[in-house]
Amino acid sequence: MHIKDADFKNIVDSIHKLEERLFGHPLHRSSNTSSGYTLYKGKLTVLEQLKIVETKLKEARSLLQMDKLKFRKRVLRRVEYCIAAEVIEFKGRVTCELSPANELLITEMIFNGVFNDFTTPQTVALLSWLVC
């Protein structure tokens, strides 16, 4: 073709090198290529089915979690930690701030006035028992 452009020659050389690699590959002359391809297609099909099943499993788990969330919201409304509009009440906020012990028990004790008649040592003793 008598083309003297250096870029063109580099491209042609790259093509020749890639063709040599392609024709030198063991699968190029192999008679098992079609069966290998069939097996590979089967593998891809199985992987696709696996993705579909995993998606269905994920959806099922999210439905279960939604049910659990609904039940938990119902419990929070019953113990008056939130209102029907799912807004957390003061009692619920107090419970959120109590982390080292049984939060629900301590909150109910606070709001029922259990600590009102206790002295400081008695309060400390009771709270230390709840933390341990």
Q: Domain segments of the chain: what residues?
A: 6-61, 66-130
Q: What average pLDDT does the structure give for the chain?
A: 85
CB 63 within 8 Å of CB 77: no
Q: What is the pTM of this model?
A: 0.43
In DSSP terms, 82 is beta-bridged to 88
The pLDDT, as a whole number, for residue 132 is: 64
The pLDDT, as a whole number, for residue 6 is: 85
Chunked into runs of 10 residues, the chain (132 residues) has average pLDDT values of 81 92 82 83 96 93 86 83 80 77 82 90 86 70
CA distance 39 to 29: 18
CA distance 95 to 79: 11
The pLDDT, as a whole number, for residue 71 is: 86
The pLDDT, as a whole number, for residue 53 is: 96
The pLDDT, as a whole number, for residue 128 is: 84
The pLDDT, as a whole number, for residue 1 is: 64
**Phi/psi of residue 29, each to 5°?**
-105, 5
DSSP 4: -
